[in-house]
Copies of this chain bind each other. A is one copy, B any other.
Amino acid sequence: MPEAVAFPENAVQVAEILRLATAHGFAVTPRGAGSGMSGGAIAAQKGLVLVMTRMNSICRIDADNFIGIVQPGVVTGGFQKAVAQYGLMYPPDPSSADFSTLGGNLAECAGGPRAVKYGVTRDYVLGLEVVLPTGEIIRTGVKTAKGVVGYDLTHLLVGSEGTLGVITEMTLRLLARPETVETLSVWFGQMEDAARAVSAILRAGIVPRALEYMDKNAISCVKNYLEGGLPEDCEAMLLIEADGSFGETTEAVKQIKKVLADCGGRYIESARSPEAANSLWKARKAISPALYTYGPDKINEDIVVPRSRLPEMVEKIRLMGEQTGLTMVSFGHAGDGNIHFNIMLDKNNPAQFLAARQAVDAIFDFTLALGGTISGEHGVGLAKASYMEKEISPEVLALMKRIKAAFDPAGILNPGKMRL
């Protein structure tokens, strides 16, 4: 629990608060919707929570130059809808898009299903207005397609989890909206076959805009969303989406279906209507909250491995489930090699808790041994802080601390996160 909460309405108010915090040494934790996955918005060292939701204006959508200028409290999904009216698209689409804010998305460098084609939040940020912990209001980056003057502070701030500055305005890159989207589902007898199909699609030079994977446990808890239910003989499902012009999309879908069939895909089906496609996505996005049917607590991870190593990773997670006796659920952005694996448990059961922690440790070690990373899009925050040193060397951590000090000499901004 924080000791105080402030709801600033402009950058000057943010600056006044941060200046006070630096002068008096109290902690400030910036917060958007508070829906992050790694605890970034939690007031770990008490102090003040700075809730940015009143700064929620879409300042400008410039359709000629493909940019949007927004305040941090704008809800991502609302922004997506607003730009769609101009024939434009803001590609990043985290599963939380209906409620998470753009400021939070930037602070965590949010990803989502479309990253396989369109990249992550980082790839859509051109420039920022930021308040430094010492109270200066600065501008970074550009409002143009390119720019290389000075250090790239913009991309240093993206993904810095609210530890370096408070974003008060952002200039985002937009794309032309594709003419059409087609959504496919396909089932596989074995998880490994699904993982191999993912590689095969990308290796064929096809870039779907989404290439999502769900194992049987993941699908089972959202089966009510799925017309026709769950095939008995299958262990995994892929949810695939292609977009572009009509011709392009039709061609891509044809090629994808051929690859899927070659890889042993069963029940390959295109969604027959936008509503049917929507229902598939509702199922996908409902997985994370629905998992609690398997246990009162979950440990939710966000590992990434090189795509070709997905079958090994999937097998490792299955094995850890067998060894620990705990329910393991995995789903996620297979096209990026980014798997959300979840361990379901009762945290009050010490044996389960210990087994789960050991499984996380083993899976992280395996991930890193495969050349992967322990977080693809959720960030470190509190949840992964104790694992950060598995991936980041002492020299790099020391450098990050010096950078933190260059922004925040008094250490008042979101202390206790990311080991910084």
A-B contact pairs, 10 of them (CB 8 A): A64-B308, A108-B148, A122-B152, A144-B376, A146-B377, A150-B391, A244-B248, A247-B251, A248-B251, A403-B406
A29 within 8 A of B: no
A402: chain B residues within 8 A (beta carbon): 406-407
B65 engages A149 (CB within 8 Å): no
Q: How many copies does the complex hold?
A: 2
Residue of B with least CB distance to A65 = B306
A interface residues, how many (CB within 8 angstroms): 90
8 Å CB interface, A170-196 against B? 175-177, 179
Q: Which of A140, A143, A206 has the most CB of B within 10 A?
A: A143
Residue of B with least CB distance to A387 = B149
A90 within 8 A of B: no
Q: Which of B108, B145, B391 is the one whose CB lies under 8 Å from A336?
A: B145
A337 within 8 A of B: yes
With both chains docked as a complex, state the minimum distance between the C-beta of A206 and any C-beta of chain B, in angstroms.
8
Q: Which of B146, B148, B245 is the one whose CB lies under 8 Å from A248?
A: B245
A73-81, A155-163, A279-287: which lies at the interface: A155-163
A396 vs B151: C-alpha distance when bound (angstroms): 10
Q: Which of A64, A145, A152, A396 has the most CB of B within 10 A?
A: A145
A145 vs B115: C-alpha distance when bound (angstroms): 9
A108: chain B residues within 8 A (beta carbon): 148
